[in-house]
Amino acid sequence: MPFSLGLVVGKFWPPHQGHQLLLETAAAQVAELLVLVYANPDDPAHPAPSGRPGCASCIAATTTPRVRALAPRRSIL
């Protein structure tokens, strides 16, 4: 693996096969992959998907313990 750590950032909503392919491809290139799921609950244009799994299904389907999802609770900007 050419890199020890990778980062993928996105809203991933609605989840689809393209997200799955992105995560699998990125995970194959790094020892550990961090996935930052973006949602800004303070911004009506980018709300968090309330009560929905978001990309959790994509991440769960990426069968490697080297993939971790991070979701900020509030705006980081």
Span 22-64, pLDDT tens digits = 999 999 999 999 988 876 666 676 565 555 455 666 666 665 6
Which residue carries 């990778």 as its tokens? 6
39: phi then psi, degrees, rounded to nearest 5: -155, 135
pTM for the whole structure: 0.66
Q: What is the pLDDT of residue 68?
A: 80
Identify whether the C-beta of residue 41 lies closer than 8 Å to the C-beta of residue 77: no
Phi-psi region of 54 (alpha: psi -120 to 50; beta: other; left: phi over 0): left
